[in-house]
Amino acid sequence: MKVKVFIFALLSVFLLSSCEQQPLLEQHRTNKKIFHKFDPDQLRVEEPILITFIAPKGIVLQQGKLEGVSMYMGVIPLVVEQHTDTSWQVKVWLGACSDPQMRWRGVVPWINATTNKRGYYQFEFTTETN
């Protein structure tokens, strides 16, 4: 029995020490925060929605994704386009579902171009059925 415990402990130490630790992605941890706003203010499904992101200079937003929280709606890609040094936009259409007030979660990865630090910006919102 002691041999089995010893072997298990030895294998555990070997496996844990041989794993390469990955850097954690940081949410909202730029030197300044990333912000977003919607147009129109009252979000509805099956209508165009423009999301504008304001990020500190030197932060580069990458392609993100949008997923339903209150109901599975698949993964909708967020194709983020840069407009100025600090503003980014994405246009999206959301499909209708049986939930009259659908909750959504968006995730947009970012990278600091000067320090190579990475993270992601996460936000949630609700849409109403037309």
pLDDT at position 98: 78
Average pLDDT in the 19-43 region? 63
Q: Is 8 contained in some domain?
A: no
Strands 26-27 and 118-128, bridge-based pairing:
parallel
Start-end of H helices in the chain: 2-18
Query: By the 8 A CB rule, do 61 and 121 touch?
Result: yes
Average pLDDT in the 76-93 region? 95
How many separate domains does the chain show?
Answer: 1
pLDDT at position 28: 46
pLDDT at position 9: 54
Q: Containing domain of residue 77, as a range?
A: 25-128
Average pLDDT in the 16-39 region? 57
pLDDT at position 1: 64
Q: Is 64 contained in some domain?
A: yes
What's the CATH number where 111 sits?
2.60.40.10
pTM of the model: 0.71
Q: Is 107 contained in some domain?
A: yes
pLDDT at position 99: 79
Q: Is 9 contained in some domain?
A: no
- Residue 18 in this model has a pLDDT that exceeds 70: no
Average pLDDT in the 62-76 region? 93
